[in-house]
Amino acid sequence: MTLTLDDLASMSGVSRATISRVLNGGSVAPRTRARVEAVLAETGYSPNRAARSLASGRSGVVGVVMHLEPSLLFVDPYFSGLLQGMSDVLAERATGMMLWLGNRSKQETLTDIQRMGLVDGLIVTAHWLDDPLVDGLLASPIPTVLIGHRREDHTASYVDVDNVEAARSVVQHLVDTGRTRIAHISGIPGSVAGEDRLVGYRVGMADAGLPTEGLVVTGDFNAPSGADAVPRLLERGVDAIFCANDATASGALEALQAAGVTVPDDVALVGFDDLDFASRLDPPLTTIRQQVPTQGAEAARALLNLLDTPDGGPRRVLLPTELVIRQSTIGASDR
Amino acid sequence: MTLTLDDLASMSGVSRATISRVLNGGSVAPRTRARVEAVLAETGYSPNRAARSLASGRSGVVGVVMHLEPSLLFVDPYFSGLLQGMSDVLAERATGMMLWLGNRSKQETLTDIQRMGLVDGLIVTAHWLDDPLVDGLLASPIPTVLIGHRREDHTASYVDVDNVEAARSVVQHLVDTGRTRIAHISGIPGSVAGEDRLVGYRVGMADAGLPTEGLVVTGDFNAPSGADAVPRLLERGVDAIFCANDATASGALEALQAAGVTVPDDVALVGFDDLDFASRLDPPLTTIRQQVPTQGAEAARALLNLLDTPDGGPRRVLLPTELVIRQSTIGASDR
DNA sequence: TTGTATGCGTTATCAA
DNA sequence: TTGATAACGCATACAA
C-alpha cells in the first residue's frame, strides 16, 4: 500500500518528474495537473519523508529548544502558550515540530540537536542574556530564531516583547495617578526580562524627573523575594511599587497588608505578566499583559521566513504589550 | 565538512560497508573495528539521518500525542511529568521525540501524523474511554502505546495507574478508621480515571459490606462540582467523602467548612493525585500519589520494546499508587 | 511543458 | 570477515 512516484506515474500516464512538480508547485500544464491531482486524491498518496529529505536536503521539521525545568513547562502558562502559537503556524505549512526540553546538560542538548540532523531550523527560548547553549546554537550553521534576545548581538533573529516600553508605561501610569516615590522590585539580574524591565523603569523615572536612589531592590521573580523587599522599601518611604512579575507582586501584597499598609491608598502595586491569579488578588492587580501565543506564532513565522530566504538578514520582532489597569493602582476612590 | 561513509572508507582503508557495520554493531574484526573507530572519533562523523531512514525504513523518532483540553494544559503538572519521564528514557536510546498538542481537530492530528510519516511509533494520552482520535491511531499501522487504556480493547499496548485498586484502598482506609457512610464524588463519566475510580469505590464498599445507594454524586474533576455535591451528601448523612481528585476535594472541603462541618471529626475527606496544594490544605488532605514521570518512562520503554520486537504482542503495564494519609482522615485526635 | 538521467548517503544482500 | 552493488523514493539539472 506504500505508493511511490513511479506507481503514480504509470497510473496517470506521465513521468515521475511531473508528479513531483505537481506536488512541489512546479510549472505544469493545467490539464496535466488536474489529471495528476485526481490520481493523487484517489490514492491518498503521501510522499516518503526520508526520501524527500535525502534528495532535497530539507527535513520539513523545526526544532524547539526550551531549556527550562520540565516541571515548569505546563505549570507556567508561558511555555504552553508559546508552543500553542508555534504549532498553529507550523501546522499551516505542514512543518513538524520537535521539542527539546532542558532536562539534560546544555552541551548534551547541543550535540544532540546537531547529530540528530533532522531539523531545518530552530526556535530557542533565550531568557538569559548569557547562555552557553544559546551561544553554541547561534554559532552553529542551523538557522535559529530566539525568543528573547542577546543584548550585544545584532546578527541574531529574535522575537521578544518590548519589556522596556512596557515597564516605562507602568511608571508613566503611576506618575499620571500622582505617585512620586515609585520603587521597583527587579527580576533576576542577567535575565532578559529582569534587566529590560529595570531599564524601562529607569527610563520612565528619568522621563518624569523622579529620583530612583534607594528605590530598587533586587528580586528573583518569586513571591518571597517580593515579601522580603517590602520592609526595606517602606523604611525608605514609597507610594508605589512596580514588581518585575505577578508572583513577586503577590508576595509584596501580602507583606504590605501584613504591615498594615493599604493598597492602593497608601501604596500602589503593579505586577507583570497578567497571570490568571492577578485579577483574583484583593485588590485586583494592575499588570502588563503579554500576548504569549502571538510570540510563539511570530517566532515560527520568522523562522519559516528565514528558511525561505536565507540571505534576507536577521528577523527582529518586538511585540507590544498591554497595560491592564486594576484596583491595585487606582482603587475605588479614584474613580 | 559533511562527511560521508565513502570519505571515511578511503580514510581508513576499508570499504563503506565495513564502516556501516562498525556503526551498527555488525561483526567486524577487532583490529579493523579499532582502526575505524579511531577515524570515527577523530572526524566526529555523524550519519545523515535522512539517508539512514530511507535505507533502513526507521526514523529513530517517536511521536507523543497529548490531545487535551487547552484549559488543562495550563494548570496540570501531570503532562509535564509525563514528558519528563519519557524524554529521559528516549534520550538513553538516542531517540528523538516529536510532540503533537491538542490544538487542532482530532482528524487533522491523525492525518498529520500519518502524512508526516517520520515517527517509528507513538505514545498517546488516552484519558477518554471513547476517543475517535485514539481509535484511529490504534487502527493505523503505527506501533502505539497508550497512557490510559481502552476498556474493551485487549490488543492495545498501554501504561496506566491502577485506579481501581487505588480507589479500593482509599475505601479500605476509611473503613479501617471507622467510617461507614462513605460517599464518592466521581470524576467525569466516560473518563478512564473517573470510571475506574468509581469502580474501585464500589468494589471497596462491597468488600466491606457497606451500602452505596444515594452516596455517589457525579462530579467533573473541578472544585465547584465538589462544593455542589456537599449539601446533597450531608442531607443523606455521610461520615466520609472520597473525591475523584484533589481539586474536587478542595471544593468539597470549602463547602463542608462553610456548612459548619468539621473535617475529619464529622466527615473524613480524601482526594486523588496528591497535587502540591493537597498537603497545604487545612487540614492536610489524605490522597493518592501517582508516580507520573514513571508512567511516562514506562510508556517510552514499552514503545521501544514494541519497536524492537514487533511480534511480541501488546505490552500492558499497570502501575501501583501510594495512599498518602494526612489529617483529613485521621485528624490529630486519632493518633 | 514534459521526460530522462543522475545523485542524495545509507543499509542490506550477495559473493568472495 | 570483508567488499561490490543494488535498492530506498524523491528532487532536480538538463535535454527535448
With contact defined as beta carbons under 8 Å apart, do B121 and B303 qualify? yes
Which is nearest to A172 in space by CA: A276, A268, A289, A97? A268
Beta carbons within 8 Å of A310's beta carbon, 6+ residues apart? A143
Nearest residue to nucleotide D13 when comparing alpha carbons to its C1'?
A17
Cell of B334: 486519632
Instruction: Provide the mean pLDDT of chain B.
Output: 89
Strand partners, B216: B184
Backbone angles phi, psi at B161, to 5 degrees: -85, 155
What distance in Å separates the CA atoms of residue B73 and residue A87, rounded to the nearest whole number?
A: 14
* Cis peptide bond prior to A310, omega within 30° of 0: no
- The nucleotide lying nearest A53 (C-alpha to C1') is D10
pLDDT at B313: 86
Say whether A73 and B91 touch across the interface (CB within 8 A).
Answer: no
The neighbour count for residue A59, using CB atoms within 10 Å, is 25
What distance in Å separates the CA atoms of residue A314 and residue A101, rounded to the nearest whole number?
A: 25
Quick: pLDDT tens for A191-201.
999 999 999 99
Strand partners, B218: B186
pLDDT at A334: 47
Angle of helix A132-139 versus helix A106-116 axis, rounded to 10: 20
Say whether A116 and B59 touch across the interface (CB within 8 A).
Answer: no
Which is nearest to B111 in space by CA: A25, A46, A118? A46
Whether pLDDT at A212 is above 90: yes
Q: Is the CB of B21 under 7 A from strand D?
A: yes
- Residue B73 binned pLDDT confidence (cut-offs 50, 70, 90): very low
CA B225 to chain centre: 24
Of the partner residues A74, A87, A104, the one whose CB lies closest to the CB of residue B76 = A74
The 3-state secondary structure of B185-242 reads EECCCCEHHHHHHHHHHHHHHHHCCCCCCCCEEECCCCHHHHHHHHHHHHHHCCCEEE
The neighbour count for residue A198, using CB atoms within 10 Å, is 22
Beta carbons within 8 Å of A103's beta carbon, 6+ residues apart? A70, B84, B87, B88
Of the partner residues B50, B81, B87, the one whose CB lies closest to the CB of residue A59 = B50
CA-CA-CA-CA torsion sign (A124, A117, B96, A308)? positive
With contact defined as beta carbons under 8 Å apart, do A68 and B64 qualify? no
CA–CA min distance A117, chain B (Å): 6
Q: Which nucleotides of C are covered by protein (CB under 7 A)?
A: 1-5, 7-13
CA–CA min distance B110, chain A (Å): 13
Hits for CB < 7 Å against strand D across B residues 29-48: 29, 31-33
What distance in Å separates the CA atoms of residue A264 and residue A283, rounded to the nearest whole number?
A: 8
Hits for CB < 7 Å against strand C across B residues 33-92: 47-48, 51-52, 54-56
Across the range A17-34, mean pLDDT stands at 88
What distance in Å separates the CA atoms of residue B323 and residue B163, rounded to the nearest whole number?
A: 12
Say whether B88 and A103 touch across the interface (CB within 8 A).
Answer: yes
pLDDT at B274: 93
- pLDDT > 90 in chain B, percent: 53
Q: Is the CB of A34 under 7 A from strand C?
A: no
CA B41 to chain centre: 39
Q: Is the CB of A307 under 7 A from strand D?
A: no
The one-letter amino acid code at B257 reads Q
Q: Which nucleotides of D are covered by protein (CB under 7 A)?
A: 1-5, 7-13
Least-confidence region, from A143-157, A226-240, B182-196: A143-157
Least-confidence region, from B82-91, B239-248, B298-307: B82-91
Hits for CB < 7 Å against strand C across A residues 49-78: 51, 54-55
pTM over 0.85: no
- pLDDT > 70 in chain B, percent: 92
Cell of B244: 475523584
Comparing alpha-carbon positions, the chain A residue that sits nearest to B1 is: A141
Buried-exposed string A243-277: b where 16+ CB fall within 10 A, e elsewhere: bbbbbbbbbbbbbbeeeebebbeebbbbbbbbbee
The residue length of chain A stands at 335
What distance in Å separates the CA atoms of residue B270 and residue B201, rounded to the nearest whole number?
A: 12
Quick: pLDDT tens for B81-100.
888 899 889 888 878 888 77
Say whether B117 and A54 touch across the interface (CB within 8 A).
Answer: no
- Residue B334 binned pLDDT confidence (cut-offs 50, 70, 90): very low
Quick: pLDDT tens for B141-171.
889 999 998 877 888 999 999 999 999 999 9
Q: Is B93 helix (H, G, I), strand (E, B) or coil?
A: coil
Round to a whole number and report the distance in Å from the CA of A274 to the C1' of C8.
50
Whether pLDDT at B324 is above 90: yes
pLDDT at B74: 43
pLDDT at B221: 92
Backbone angles phi, psi at A126, to 5 degrees: -125, 85
- Residue B104 binned pLDDT confidence (cut-offs 50, 70, 90): low
Whether pLDDT at B251 is above 90: yes
Chain B residues 53-82 with a CB less than 8 Å from chain A: 53-54, 59, 61, 70, 73-81
The residue length of chain B stands at 335
Instruction: Provide the mean pLDDT of chain A.
Output: 88
Q: Is the CB of A18 under 7 A from strand C?
A: yes
Comparing alpha-carbon positions, the chain A residue that sits nearest to B116 is: A49
Which is nearest to A97 in space by CA: B98, B311, B191? B98
Round to a whole number and report the distance in Å from the CA of B4 to the C1' of D15.
30
CB contacts, 8 Å: B117 with chain A:
46-49
Say whether A74 and B70 touch across the interface (CB within 8 A).
Answer: no
| Greatest pairwise CA separation for chain B in angstroms | 87
With contact defined as beta carbons under 8 Å apart, do B272 and B166 qualify? yes
Q: Is the CB of B99 under 7 A from strand C?
A: no
Give, for A154, the enclosing helix (H) or strand (E).
Answer: none
Q: Report the residue of B23, B111, B116, B142 to disrupt the A interface, i.e. the one with the largest count of A CBs within 10 Å.
A: B116
Backbone angles phi, psi at A314, to 5 degrees: -70, 150
Strand partners, A322: A289
Q: What's the Cα-to-Cα distance from B171 to each of B205, B269, B277, rounded to whole Å?
A: 7, 11, 22
A99 interfaces chain B, CB cutoff of 8 Å? yes
With contact defined as beta carbons under 8 Å apart, do B194 and B167 qualify? no
Torsion of CA A277, A280, A282, A286, to 10 degrees: 70
Domains of chain B: 5-47 (1.10.260.40), 61-161+292-320 (3.40.50.2300), 163-290 (3.40.50.2300)
What distance in Å separates the CA atoms of residue A129 and residue B163, rounded to the nearest whole number?
A: 46
- The nucleotide lying nearest A9 (C-alpha to C1') is C3
Quick: pLDDT tens for A38-66.
888 888 888 888 898 888 888 888 988 88
CB contacts, 8 Å: B94 with chain A:
115
With contact defined as beta carbons under 8 Å apart, do B152 and B130 qualify? no
> What Rg value do the Cα atoms of chain A yield, rounded?
26
B101 interfaces chain A, CB cutoff of 8 Å? yes
pLDDT at B49: 86
Quick: pLDDT tens for A226-249.
999 999 999 999 999 999 999 999
The one-letter amino acid code at A12 reads S
With contact defined as beta carbons under 8 Å apart, do B283 and B331 qualify? yes
pLDDT at B153: 80
CA B132 to chain centre: 19
A294 interfaces chain B, CB cutoff of 8 Å? no
Quick: pLDDT tens for A61-107.
898 888 766 555 555 678 878 888 998 898 888 788 887 776 556 66
With contact defined as beta carbons under 8 Å apart, do A168 and A156 qualify? no
Nearest residue to nucleotide C11 when comparing alpha carbons to its C1'?
B55
Beta carbons within 8 Å of B113's beta carbon, 6+ residues apart? B63, B65, B100, B119, B122, B137, B142
Q: Which residue has the higher pLDDT, B110 or B86?
A: B86
What distance in Å separates the CA atoms of residue A255 and residue A269, rounded to the nearest whole number?
A: 12
